[in-house]
Amino acid sequence: MELKEAKSKLEQELIKTLEKHKRDKAAIDLILKAYKFAFEKHIEQKRKSGEPYIIHPVEVAKTLVELNADTATICAGLLHDVLEDTQTTAEEMTALFGEDIYSLVEGVTKLGKLTFKSSVQEQANNFRKMLMAIANDVRVVLVKLADRLNNMQTLSHLPAEKQIKIARETLDIFAPLANRFGLHAIKTELEDLCFKYLQPEEFEKVKKIVSSKKSEREAQVKIVQEKIREILVKQNIAVEIQGRAKHFYSIYRKLKDPTTKIIDPNQDHQIYDLLGIRILVNDVKDCYATLGIVHEALRPMPGRFKDYIAVPKSNLYQSLHTTLITPYGKPIEVQIRTHDMHNIAENGIAAHWNYKETEGSNKASSQEVEELGWIRQLISWQTDMEDAQEYLDTVKKDILSQEVYILTPKGDVFTLPVDSTPIDFAYKIHSKIGDTCTGAKVNDKIVPINYKLHNGDLVEIITSKNAHPNLSWLNFVKTNQAKHRIKTWYKKQNHDRHLAIGKQLLEEKFGKEGFEQFIKSQELEDVAHKLNYKNSEDLIAGIGSGDTTIAQVAGKLQQTKYGLESKEDPLQLKKIKTRKAASKGDEADIPELDGLLYNIAKCCMPVPGEPVKGVVSKGKGITVHRLHCDNLSQVDDTRLMQIEWRSKTDKYYPTFLTVEVVDRVGVAKDILTLVADAGINVSDVKVRDRPSENTAVIRMILNVTGKDELQKITNSLKSMSDVLVVHRQ
């Protein structure tokens, strides 16, 4: 397609979409101005398919129009790649389109630079940046999701490796995010597209199930629709009835559900909502009237009714759900809602947030800002949770997961992940309520504290001033927020013990002379901040608990006066002088030791990928130590040599790992099972000591290929509910 022809065709498509949604002339003029500007800026660029690049921002803008987004957001959709991919300056864009549109484009540009496949710490930081951008202006997420949708729609033009990477990220992050904001249409299409690329065989199987007897099902549904319409009209209820198709990924999840035993496509009656009916009425009163009428006309299926009007979902979704038995003996799901509810159900925040363009204001009301409280909560959790893996798990499990809706006796509604317990609910309300929880009533009946909550449960938490968390709670709580608070309470109770251990370790490392000055020094305070502690005392306690190693502290101190040799400084980190050995003979995993006799130090057990030093011993060759091994401080500098691992090794190396756990029957077995499932051999395991009545310390020797494998299994162990601390010796 010629550029001139493409420009005209795309412009007409855009105008047609805008007019269909009754946009006024002023809005259309501004949007077309943004289109023409974007066209000129992207004129030399092409997509992987070979098509003009401008097609992409136009498709993004059309999606935003369909979502009923405001004019500034549609303009930002057209301009979202201009700042990053062209020579356009902030000043130029602001002068042409104003501060509001520029700010939106800048926010989307920043989101585009975030990746969720890097290190755990970087992922956590990127999550926080994304949520901060959304909290600042929720319209940013509309543009980003419309952008991701078109990228997924055109994913076939990328190499298979990139297809899988992008689809996985979309399914893990962006589809749940769309659901959290009530963007049902985008969420379902993203999930189906991801499903197609990530599990192509299962995707085709589901397509076969859906296509099987499709025309027969549609004919039966149409008859049911007409019967319901006829009954409602007789009752003077103005009604619109729509057919509703279930999307592929949702059907797949039903197939994977152990309660759904469907295998043969001919057994599709076991899936309740391959096709369904949506009934739209004028007001809430008519919703409940319609429910009663259809229940009289067609027998309802027990246990399949949900009232999301009385108890809306956290993404503002409202509707009545029921399942009816048709005259053909097959169940059909029915949704009943008002037209306004339907608009919110399909378009989420884009429908709910009323931007006042006529007054030049596009900010939401205080009530609407309050509804973004879950985003602000996540941002605050980032500062509260020092462990990046814990923060990521909290985002994914507590926010981007499937939810149940729980009520307090006062009628407040809280959302929690599926299978949450009263303890999770208590911590959701407030950390003090969780810490002092002694029991719970659910629907006015006393239940065990590990009871699994269900949609619509009314929960009353019973507390006592003298109560405190029990470490056994970690065995059944669902939310990472609850796990974090329980572990935090435990650590606070053991603060003094950990502080004493930390001081002892520091004194052993840096010597007794001047020690008191050292632990009160500004240098150690600075190191504490660099390692994300509030102060040096918390850092020392962190060393004592195993959360932070002496090696980490020593590495940061290298940048301070304690890292330099000086007669004035009572404490010194020894500067390591190096010499290099000649390479000869057989190839070793450490190039400098080729042909030489060497062994791995048993005191610190280094593994490939970790910084190391060689110690020359007469008659024993070279011993390889970790760079920050305590024993190196006792070695004369002339015996040290600079060495490095080869980039790749194919051997297994033993190394220590210490795990502090909640002491219960079977905990060691669970840990060893997790390690075995990871394909890692354990050559030795023993319980070293019991720091308290409820905890134990397990010491293991693992055989790993290197630092990456060790880090992976360490992170997996940290994610276990019974594990309190994991660290190297």
Question: Residue 695: left if φ>0, alpha if ψ -120 to 50, beta else—which one?
Answer: beta
The two tokens of residue 561 are 């006066």
Distance CA 556, CA 525 (A): 11
Task: Please report, as a single letter, which amino acid is at residue 356.
Answer: K
Q: Contact at 8 Å (CB) between 573 and 562?
A: yes
**What is the DSSP code string of 30-88?**
HHHHHHHHHHHHTTT-B-TTSSBTTHHHHHHHHHHHHTT--HHHHHHHHHTTHHHHSS-
Q: Contact at 8 Å (CB) between 91 and 139?
A: no
Strands 621-626 and 240-245: unpaired
**What is the DSSP code string of 128-140?**
HHHHHHHHH-THH
User: Any catalytic annotation for residue 84?
Assistant: yes
User: Any catalytic annotation for residue 516?
Assistant: no
- The partner residues of 726 in beta bridges, in order of sequence, read 659
Q: Which of 11, 84, 202, 523 is catalytic?
A: 84
Tell me the chain's radius of gyration from C-alpha atoms: 31
- Inter-CA distances, 480 with 242, 467, 719, 725, Å: 40, 21, 9, 15
Q: Contact at 8 Å (CB) between 461 and 437?
A: yes
How many other CB atoms sit within 10 Å of the CB of residue 405? 20
The two tokens of residue 306 are 């949900």
Q: Which of 85, 169, 371, 525 is catalytic?
A: 85
3-state secondary structure 186-254: HHHHHHHHHHHHHCHHHHHHHHHHHHCCHHHHHHHHHHHHHHHHHHHHHCCCCCEEEEEECCHHHHHHH
Q: Give the residue numbers annotated as catalytic, written as ranges.
A: 84-85
